[in-house]
């Protein structure tokens, strides 16, 4: 007797009546419980997500995304948004006319010293053919300024880390929405059947107190879980439980996987739960990953010149530099969405010391990634984004002194983008003389998301997923493509 005969239940008279009694009601219920069937979601059990019919909506400029997320809120005042008058205004109170609008985040320990302007602790210089102002904390980024677009007027309503990160990653400040990587994988599918379509790499400075990262930042919420990001670790097995147990060879594992697939197929035929198909696809992908992931993560064959380009930390697994190099290797293998998280940017105190330490970690590898992609011919169809969840205030937190910090600030902050349809060597948007409010060309986070999807050939207003009777979008009910930064 084979496995099907052993497992599959016989159809009794009672079972027949139970299954047939639902009629049209059961069919209607099925359409509610299985929205993926009703709305044409593509299934590829042996191949993973294969994308939706009719997408991309138009010819894409980018085939993949690398998002270099700087968790904690980098200070645009010290890095990208040059405000020469701040030196003269140092130690003065910020005018009430500038602080107009919604209440500010206030973590200052002394009301007497609240809203005291502090000049940047870095010098700026003009670089590149465009003469763009860049901080001397970013000498390597200065070297690629003609390849990137600097957007200085991104803004968000979020003023704390979790809602800010949730907003940047999912388009909504409250948990419960699919991540951007999940939306992209849902829409366009995977380009490499031996690797996940969405990969997450996490690093942090060893000396900083980490801001917690929730897996919902790369999760799928109400979408099938097959679209979620797969987190790679700095370990012998980059993905947990990837290696076979001791004593289990490839033939044994293949037979066990085939039998497990039969059991899951029977379960799917009985209950129609799309998560069962997800499980089948995930087991198959994991099997193929046992060969592809170790080869991917093995950097030993990279030439010394590559390690020199990314910096000495690139030889240390789990560092930001090593993850940037790994991101290039993932891009070479056509992984659709690659998300890097680097923590340590929450500088409420000791900003002059800590921002220097952070930029020494991330500046060279970020610039090296752009150079590496460009020389390999990958930058033109790879969209790279460097961004945090918000920026920092012009005023100090607490008493103005040498170890000052800056508070959270969502009204304006800086993001840079490169490749994949982005116009190189430009600066976009202007802020006021305090880098506190947007003066010209505001870019909301929804606009940023709409632009990213546009580079991938997706009309953000047409990419929807129905859940609980509503069509959801990454950009919610807003978002405008920023055409001026596109080629």
Q: DSSP per residue over 18-87, as a string?
A: HHHHSHHHHHHHHHHH-HHHHTT----TTT-----TT-SSS--S-SEEEEEEEET---HHHHT---TTHH
Res. 388: pLDDT tops 60 = yes
b/e 135-144 (16+ beta carbons within 10 angstroms → b) = bebbebbbbb
Side-chain half-sphere CA neighbours of 148 within 13 A: 29
User: Contacts from 298-303 at CB under 8 Å and sequence distance 24+?
Assistant: 299/325, 299/326, 299/329
34: confidence class by pLDDT, cuts 50, 70, 90: very low
265: confidence class by pLDDT, cuts 50, 70, 90: confident
Q: How many Å apart are CA 350 and CA 373, to the nearest integer?
A: 35
Question: What token pair was written down for 161?
Answer: 């880390």
> Taking a C-beta distance cutoff of 8 angstroms, is the pair 203, 342 a contact?
yes
Q: Which of 98-112, 259-273, 415-429 has maximum average pLDDT?
A: 415-429
Q: How many Å apart are CA 36 and CA 11, to the nearest integer?
A: 28
pTM of the predicted structure, to 2 decimals:
0.84
Architecture of domain 43-485: 3-Layer(aba) Sandwich (3.40)
Question: What token pair was written down for 229?
Answer: 């990001």
Nearest to 41 by CA among 177, 170, 175, 183: 183
Q: Summarize the confidence of residues 3-27 as an average pLDDT.
A: 51
Res. 37: pLDDT tops 50 = no
Digit-coded pLDDT (tens) for 68-106: 999 999 999 999 999 999 999 999 988 888 887 655 555
Measured CA to CA in angstroms, residue 309 lies from 306, 365, 467 at distances of 5, 8, 46
Domain ranges of the chain: 43-485
Digit-coded pLDDT (tens) for 139-163: 999 999 999 999 999 999 999 999 9
> Taking a C-beta distance cutoff of 8 angstroms, is the pair 463, 187 a contact?
yes
What's the DSSP call for residue 424? T
């Amino acid at each position: 007797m084979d496995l099907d005969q052993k497992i599959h239940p016989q159809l009794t008279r009672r079972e027949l009546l139970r299954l047939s009694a639902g009629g049209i009601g059961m069919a209607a219920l099925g359409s509610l419980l299985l929205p993926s069937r009703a709305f044409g979601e593509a299934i590829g059990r042996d191949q993973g997500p294969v994308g939706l019919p009719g997408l991309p909506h138009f010819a894409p400029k980018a085939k993949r995304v690398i998002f270099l997320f700087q968790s904690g809120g980098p200070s645009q005042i010290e890095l990208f948004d040059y405000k020469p008058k701040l030196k003269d205004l140092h130690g003065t109170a910020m005018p009430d006319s500038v602080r107009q609008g919604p209440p500010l985040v206030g973590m200052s320990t002394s009301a007497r010293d609240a809203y005291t302007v502090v000049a940047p602790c870095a010098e700026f210089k003009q670089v590149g053919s465009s003469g763009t102002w860049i901080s001397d904390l970013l000498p390597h980024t200065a070297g690629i300024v003609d390849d990137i677009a600097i957007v200085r007027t991104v803004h968000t309503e979020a003023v704390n880390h979790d809602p800010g990160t949730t907003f940047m990653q999912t388009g909504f400040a409250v948990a419960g929405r699919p991540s951007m990587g999940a939306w992209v994988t849902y829409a366009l599918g995977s380009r490499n059947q031996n690797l996940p379509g969405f990969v997450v790499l996490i690093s942090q400075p060893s000396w900083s107190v980490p801001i917690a990262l929730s897996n919902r930042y790369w999760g799928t919420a109400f979408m099938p879980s097959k679209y979620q990001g797969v987190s790679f670790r700095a370990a012998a097995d980059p993905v947990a439980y990837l290696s076979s147990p001791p004593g289990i060879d490839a033939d044994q594992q293949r037979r066990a996987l085939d039998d497990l697939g039969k059991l899951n197929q029977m379960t799917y035929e009985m209950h129609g739960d799309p998560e069962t198909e997800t499980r089948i696809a995930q087991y198959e992908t994991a099997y193929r990953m046992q060969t592809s992931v170790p080869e991917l993560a093995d950097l030993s064959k990279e030439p010394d010149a590559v390690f020199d380009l990314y910096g000495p930390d690139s030889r240390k697994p789990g560092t930001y530099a090593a993850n940037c190099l790994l991101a290039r290797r993932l891009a070479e293998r056509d992984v659709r969405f690659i998300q890097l998280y680097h923590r340590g940017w929450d500088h409420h105190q000791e900003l002059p010391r800590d921002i220097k330490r952070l930029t020494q970690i991330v500046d060279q590898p970020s610039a090296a990634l752009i150079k590496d992609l460009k020389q390999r011919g990958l930058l033109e169809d790879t969209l790279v984004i460097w961004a945090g969840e918000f920026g920092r205030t012009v005023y100090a937190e607490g008493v103005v002194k040498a170890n000052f910090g800056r508070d959270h600030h969502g009204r304006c902050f800086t993001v840079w983008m490169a490749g994949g349809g982005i116009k190189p060597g430009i600066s976009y948007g202007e802020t006021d003389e305090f880098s506190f409010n947007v003066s010209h060309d505001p870019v909301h986070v929804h606009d940023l998301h709409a632009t990213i999807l546009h580079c991938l050939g997706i009309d953000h207003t047409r990419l929807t997923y129905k859940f609980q009777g509503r069509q959801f979008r990454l950009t919610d009910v807003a978002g405008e493509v920023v055409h001026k930064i596109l080629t």
